[in-house]
């Protein structure tokens, strides 16, 4: 008070001064409040406010939302966000990335010679291979080359992609009769795409969101009968009552077939009920992940995977379904080699040229 103007000093007794103080306090409080409001609104306007204050708006918490929506099963671990398409560079490397993306999203058109069914990579690896818990490519790229007990060798990324061509894309039925040969530009471009997508992730560490995510064991044995009902209610509108998918007026596949001659073959990872259940739980019905209960996901997976589909390409010539079962399928949770309603699962469809099956690589699970 000492350095104040003389007239600041209340000329009268205590009451006066306390009243002056009350007014001062009121002005201080209101003024301070207003300043805070103004500053606060400016901060919010410029997106500088912490998200816990603003109630986690969309841009600021993409990671959390994505985790919540896509089958993290309540896990709140931050998910890696792959870079936006707009950041693909405008140079020769970028061109390769774009070609890789085009192959991934419309494989039948852009890698026509090596595709023997109606599927594209992005049918199982959603959002152009970016969606967590649908085996995203950003989560795969940093962990290859990797030793896989399944074929007892170190698999490069090329080996792994070849696996998905051989089985998931049923390359045996393609115009060339097999997957792209080693060194093909198809692998080069796809790997450029994956590499670009995983920028910033440490190598050798499996990130959260990899694979299809975990699914709990079902309370009851998976049942085809219950699965059929789940299918009719939740899947048929898109995949068709007969599971054969749907095409548009120009014959372009919109909803992919889940079984039958134009779907993945008996060597593909998706034929295993546990893999399909995890995929379905976290990704289907499309746009409504985690809608199905754990039991429903297992039941419908069992229903989908107990229908005929193209043969396991390793089961050719003298190799019978029983041989193939003993050699490659006995540990799998699936219907391969079993009888469903009196029909043996596995022989596939009589098809033309099956000679050029990859000999080097018995990599299942693609």
Partner 1 sequence: MTDKKPDPRRPDETFEPFEETRRIPWPVYSIAIALAIWGVIMLVQTSTAVEVADKTQKEVAKEDSTKLAQAAAPDLDAGKTLFADNCATCHGDAGEGVAGAFPPLHGSDVVKLGGAKAVTHIVMRGIGGKLNVNGDGYEGQMPAFGSVLSDTEISEIASYVATGLNDDAKTISAPEVADIRKVAGDKDPFDGGAGLAGLINDLPAQPNSEAADQGADSERVARLVGQGTDTVWACASCHGDKGEGIETVPRLAGLPAPYLAKQLHDFQRGTRFNDSMAYVAKGLSDREIGELANYYASMSSPSGAKPALQGDLKRGAQLAKQGDWSIGVPACFTCHGPSGVGVAPNFPGIAAQQPSYVAHQLAMWAGGSRHNSPLGLMAGIGKALNDSDRRAVADYLASLAPMPAMDKTELAAMESNIPVREGVDQ
Footprint on this chain of partner 1 (rule: CB under 8 A): 5, 7-8, 10-13, 15-16, 19-20, 24, 27-28, 30-32, 34-35, 38-39, 41-42, 58, 62, 65-66, 69-70, 81, 85, 102, 109, 112, 126-128, 130-131, 232-234, 236-238, 241, 246-252, 254-255, 285-289
What backbone torsions phi and psi does residue 253 show, to the nearest 5 degrees?
A: -70, 125
In degrees to the nearest 10, what's the CA dihedral of 133, 187, 363, 179? 120
Pick the closest to residue 207 from 82, 306, 39 (CA basis).
82
State which of residues 70, 122, 244, 311 lies at the interface with ligand HEC (CB under 6 A): 122
Contact status, residue 261 vs residue 352, Cβ threshold 8 Å: no
Element (H, E) at 39: helix 14-45
Question: Per-residue string for binding with ligand HEC, 91-120, x by CB under 6 A?
Answer: ----------------x-----------x-
State which of residues 2, 4, 287, 339 lies at the interface with ligand HEC (CB under 6 A): 287
Closer of 219 and 249 to partner 1 (Cβ): 249
User: Could you give the CA distance from residue 267 to residue 161 in angstroms, rounded to a whole number?
Assistant: 14
Q: Does 123 bind ligand HEC (CB under 6 A)?
A: yes
Q: How far is CA 304 from the centre of its chain?
A: 19
Q: Does 304 bind ligand HEC (CB under 6 A)?
A: yes
- Contacted by 241, from ligand HEC, partner 1, none: CB < 5 to 8 Å by type: partner 1
* Region near ligand HEC per CB under 6 A, out of 30-38, 72-80, 81-89, 277-285: 277-285
CB neighbour list of residue 175: distance below 8 Å, 6 or more residues apart: 112, 113
Q: Does 232 bind ligand HEC (CB under 6 A)?
A: no
Pick the closest to residue 155 from 144, 166, 169 (CA basis).
144
- Contacted by 340, from partner 1, ligand HEC, none: CB < 5 to 8 Å by type: none
Q: Quote the least distance from Cβ 78 to ligand HEC, whole Å.
A: 19
User: Could you give the CA distance from residue 155 to residue 165 in angstroms, rounded to a whole number?
Assistant: 15
């Amino acid at each position: 008070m000492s350095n104040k103007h003389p007239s600041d000093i209340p000329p009268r007794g205590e009451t006066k001064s306390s009243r002056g103080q009350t007014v001062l306090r009121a002005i201080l409080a209101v003024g301070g409040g207003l300043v805070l409001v103004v500053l606060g609104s400016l901060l919010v306007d410029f997106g500088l406010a912490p998200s816990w204050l603003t109630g986690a708006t969309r841009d600021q918490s993409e990671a959390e939302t994505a985790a919540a929506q896509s089958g993290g099963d309540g896990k709140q671990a931050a998910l890696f966000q792959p870079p936006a398409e707009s950041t693909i560079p405008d140079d020769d490397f970028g061109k390769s990335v774009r070609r890789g993306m085009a192959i991934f999203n419309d494989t039948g058109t852009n890698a026509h010679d090596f595709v023997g069914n109606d599927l594209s990579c992005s049918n199982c690896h959603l959002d152009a291979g970016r969606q967590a818990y649908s085996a995203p490519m950003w989560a795969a790229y940093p962990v290859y080359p990797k030793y896989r007990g399944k074929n007892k060798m170190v698999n490069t990324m090329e080996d792994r992609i070849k696996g998905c061509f051989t089985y998931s894309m049923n390359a045996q039925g393609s115009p060339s009769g097999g997957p792209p040969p080693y060194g093909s530009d198809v692998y080069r471009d796809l790997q450029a795409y994956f590499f670009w997508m995983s920028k910033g992730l440490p190598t050798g560490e499996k990130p959260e969101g990899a694979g299809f995510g975990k699914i709990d064991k079902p309370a009851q044995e998976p049942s085809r009968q219950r699965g059929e009902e789940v299918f009719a209610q939740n899947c048929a509108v898109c995949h068709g009552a007969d599971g054969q998918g749907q095409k548009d007026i120009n014959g372009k596949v919109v909803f992919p077939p889940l079984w039958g001659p134009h779907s993945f073959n008996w060597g593909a990872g998706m034929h295993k009920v546990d893999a399909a259940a995890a995929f379905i739980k976290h990704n289907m019905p499309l746009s409504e992940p985690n809608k199905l209960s754990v039991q429903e996901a297992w039941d419908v997976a069992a229903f989908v995977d107990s229908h005929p589909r193209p043969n396991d390409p390793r089961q050719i010539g003298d190799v019978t379904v029983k041989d193939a079962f003993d050699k490659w399928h006995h540990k799998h949770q699936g219907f391969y080699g079993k009888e469903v309603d009196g029909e043996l699962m596995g022989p596939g469809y009589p098809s033309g040229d099956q000679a050029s099956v990859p000999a080097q690589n018995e990599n299942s699970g693609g």
